[in-house]
Structure 1
Amino acid sequence: MKHYNTIIIGAGHNGLICASYLAKAGQDVLVLEASDTPG
């Protein structure tokens, strides 16, 4: 099982921006989205 530092629920604009900043800071991030497309 993979370990993530942060799990973000929702791949809307704010979720994706948050994931981007965290990933650039070296965090392992998982973004979960219920629909087929992000945004």
Structure 2
Amino acid sequence: MNKVTRRQLPTVDALYGSEDGMEGFRAFAEKREPVWKGK
């Protein structure tokens, strides 16, 4: 794993683990617009 990838992992984890990140995945799977909460 290179240095850039290691540095990005915490940011990616925080984004996809957030409420909005999960809402994005659910909305895509359900073929609807996401409802963002800013969390």
Q: Which has the higher strand share?
A: 1
Q: Does the alignment reach a TM-score above 0.5?
A: no
Q: Which has the higher helix share?
A: 2
**Max Rg structure:** 2
TM-score (ref. length: structure 1): 0.36
TM-score (ref. length: structure 2): 0.36
